[in-house]
Each structure stands twice: as structure tokens, then as C-alpha cells.
Structure 1
Amino acid sequence: MNNHWNKVIYRFWAPFYDYLFNSGPFLKARKTIFENLEIKPKSKVLFVGVGTGADLRFIIGKDVAVTAIDLSPDMLDRAKNKYDSPNVKFMEMDAQDLTFTPESFDMVIANLILSVVPDPNQCFQEMIRVTRTEGRIIIFNKFAPSSEDLPLIKKIIRPVVAMMGTDIGRHFEPIIVPYENYIQVEEDASALFNGMYRKIMLRKTEKEDVII
């Protein structure tokens, strides 16, 4: 997986994305992610990997300033066409190299992105860097179970699935371990398909020089 290939493959996926990942059980799961999510007025919210804008419906209309980034111009164009709002700023950007200053956002929402980027550790580090102290990071993503090795069939098909733009073998726990001293896990629950997809809510408890 690399950025060039991701741009190519998501140009292909863009016309079909909403039918596959913004309907049925995925739509229900997305609604669950935003249920009871407290967002203070005037907050600055960043969507990392906004895709076709599937999650924007749950926040548009609130008194917040939204920045939505994605690597794929094709996906981003679809999001722009759906939500022409002065409160939403769309930007083509690499989630592994965010151009924002440290502590720019009160909330970072990263749905279905950590299994897509070539380097999830770098992406996560960038998300933490741009989140203000006491800010929150919301994640909806598929992760391999932390206590289990991948089944043989998943090991076999993993490279094939990766060519389609996603990694089915990533674990979340190694990604967060380096930041455990200043990232608090407030919720880690099954969101879809018996825990294959998880809802993870994090809070940045303090600023550390290592991530700014």
C-alpha cells in the first residue's frame, strides 16, 4: 500500500463507496459513533480521511468549524458536492503529513482511515499532534483482535485485499502504545460485525514535546 496506489484505487471506489460503506449496517454503525457525542459550540473539528463525506451529515448544522481532508481528489469532490457549507473547509491532504500547527483542533474524527494509510503509526501521531490538550480523537475502524494471531486464510488474502485499498491485518494496540502516557482510552467497543469494526474514543490528557 502506498499513496500513489491509494489515489488510483479510490478513484475506482469513489462512485460506489456510499453504496458499500454508507448504507445498511455501515450507516447504522456510523450513526452509533455519533450518538451522544458531545461537541461544544465553536469547536474546531477535523475529519481525517473524510472520503465521500459519509460522516458529515452527523455534524453539519452544529455550531462548529469543520475541516475535512482526504488524499483522494475523487472522494473529496463527492464530499464537496454533498455539503456546500461555509462551515466546512475541504482540503486535499495526506493524513500522514498534516499541514496544521500543533493543537489546532478540539476534536479529530478518523473513520476508516487507519486501515488505509500506508503508515498508521505516522497517521496516528499526526492526529495526536494536531489535537489540543483535553481534546478528543474518535476512531471507527476495523482492527485485528489484539490477543490473536491472524488466521491462515486472512494471512493468505491480506495482500490481495491490500491491493483493494485496505489492510485487514492491523492491530490498534501497537499503534497507541507509544502514547499511553498522554492518551486516555475513554471507550473501546464493538461497532460492527461482532467487533471486527470498533468504536474507539480517546482523550489527549497532556501535551508532550515528542509529538509536536
Structure 2
Amino acid sequence: MNNRWNQFIYKCWAPFYDVFFNNGMFYRARKKVFQDVYFTSEQRILFVGVGTGADLAFIPHENVNVTAIDYSSEMLQKAKEKYKNSSITFHQMDAQQLTFDSLSFDAVVASLVLSVVPDAEQALKEMTRVVKPKGTILIFDKFETKKKSAAFPKKIFRPFVKLLGTDIGLSFEHVFEASRAHLILKENSSVMLKGMYRKIILQKVEE
């Protein structure tokens, strides 16, 4: 996957993305991810890879300072249309090269983005850079499971699925390793498809 291909494929996905990824089990999974997450009016929250804005429905965005970014202008436009009367600030931006100052946000939310960007390790490093000490990074994404029975089918289908704009073979442990010195793993739990889709909460250490 690369940025140019992602721009094209998510331009194609944008008109009907919510039909597949904000309904049924995906809606229930998103709801589960946010059910015990609380934001306050004093906090600055960054949504990385906000897409069509599916996650924004699960937070009190009317009372929270929210900034949302996405690389796809078409996906971002969908989010803007949904929340055109809100105070949310939207930017087209690459998750691998955030233009925000370091230590700018109290929390970062990243749903289904690490499995999409060309360099997931770099994206997590950037999230870590912009979040404040003791701040949290909330991740909802699909990652490689440790079940050996699933390894061979995934190996076969992984190149074809990548053409659809996502990676089904990404190892969270591998991605996390590059930022381990700056983050504490607070939660790593299954939310869908027997652990393939997971809720992960990271906290930045005090430096």
C-alpha cells in the first residue's frame, strides 16, 4: 500500500463506506470501544484517520475540543457534511506526518488507520509525539492474531486485501515495539471476530 493508492481506493470507498463499516457488528464494535471512554471539556482530542466520522457519534463532541484528520479528501468531506454544525476542526493530513506541534493533545483516537497507512510504526510514533505526557492513545483496529490455523489463509489473501486499502496481517506487537519506550500498554482486548479487531489503550509516559 502507498499514499497514492490509498487516495484512489478510499475515493472509491467513500460513497458507501458507512454501509459496511458503520453498521451491524462494526457499529457494535465501535460502541464497545467507546463505552468506557470519557472525555472532558478541558481536553483537546485528535482523531487520526477520522474517515467519514463514524466514531464522532460516540463522544460528546459538542462539549469537547475535537480536531479530526484524514488523508482522503472524499472521506473527510463525508465527515464534514455529517458534522457541519459542530465545532469540530477538520484537516486533510497524512497520519505519518502530522503537522501539529509536539504535546498538543490530551488524547488521540485512531480507528482502522494503522492497518491502512503504508508505515504503521511511523504513524504511531507521530501520535505519540503529539500527545501529552499521561495522555492516552485509543486504537480500534484489526491485527494479526496468534492463531496458527489462521496464518496460512491470511498469508494467501493478504496481498489481495491490501488492494482494497487495508492490511489483515499487521502485528500490533511489532508496531508497538518502535514506541514502547514512550508508551504504557493499558488495555489490549478483543472487540470483534475473536480477537482480530481489538481495542487498545496506550498511555504516554512522563518524560
TM over 0.5: yes
Q: Give the Cα separation in 2 of the matches to 1:172 and 1:147.
A: 14
Deviation above 6 Å: which 4+ runs of structure 1? none
Is 1:24 the counterpart of 2:5? The answer is no
**What displacement does 1:147 show?**
7.1
Q: Give the Cα separation in 2 of the matches to 1:70 and 1:61.
A: 17
Is 1:126 the counterpart of 2:147? The answer is no
**What displacement does 1:59 show?**
1.6
Instruction: Judge conservation of contact 2:158–2:169 (CA < 8 Å) in 1.
Output: yes
Q: Secondary structure at the match of 2:186?
A: strand
Gaps of at least 5 residues in structure 2 are none
Q: Give the Cα separation in 2 of the matches to 1:118 and 1:196.
A: 20
**What displacement does 1:25 show?**
0.5
Counterparts of residues 6-155 of structure 1 (less than 5 Å): 6-146=6-146, 148=148, 151-155=151-155
**What displacement does 1:148 show?**
4.9
**What displacement does 1:34 show?**
0.8
Cα deviation code 1:38-65 (max 9, x no counterpart):
2122210000000000001112445211
Q: Which residue of 2 aligns with 1:178?
A: 178
Q: Which residue of 2 aligns with 1:200?
A: 200
Q: Secondary structure at the match of 2:181?
A: coil
Cα deviation code 1:85-131 (max 9, x no counterpart):
44200000000000000010000000000000000011000000000
**What displacement does 1:206 show?**
2.0
State the number of aligned residues. Answer: 207
Q: Give the Cα separation in 2 of the matches to 1:115 and 1:30.
A: 16
TM-score, normalising length: structure 1: 0.93
Q: Secondary structure at the match of 2:159?
A: helix
Distance 1:98 1:146, change over 3 A: farther
Q: Which residue of 2 aligns with 1:4?
A: 4
Answer with 30-39 or 117-126: which moved more.
30-39
RMSD (Å) for aligned C-alpha atoms: 1.5
Q: Secondary structure at the match of 2:106?
A: strand
**What displacement does 1:185 show?**
1.0
Q: Give the Cα separation in 1 of the matches to 2:69 and 2:146.
A: 29
Q: Secondary structure at the match of 1:28?
A: helix
**What displacement does 1:160 show?**
0.7
Distance 1:122 1:78, change over 3 A: same
Question: Which structure shows the bigger proportion of residues in helix conformation?
Answer: 2
Cα deviation code 1:17-52 (max 9, x no counterpart):
001000001000101111121212221000000000
Distance 1:61 1:152, change over 3 A: closer
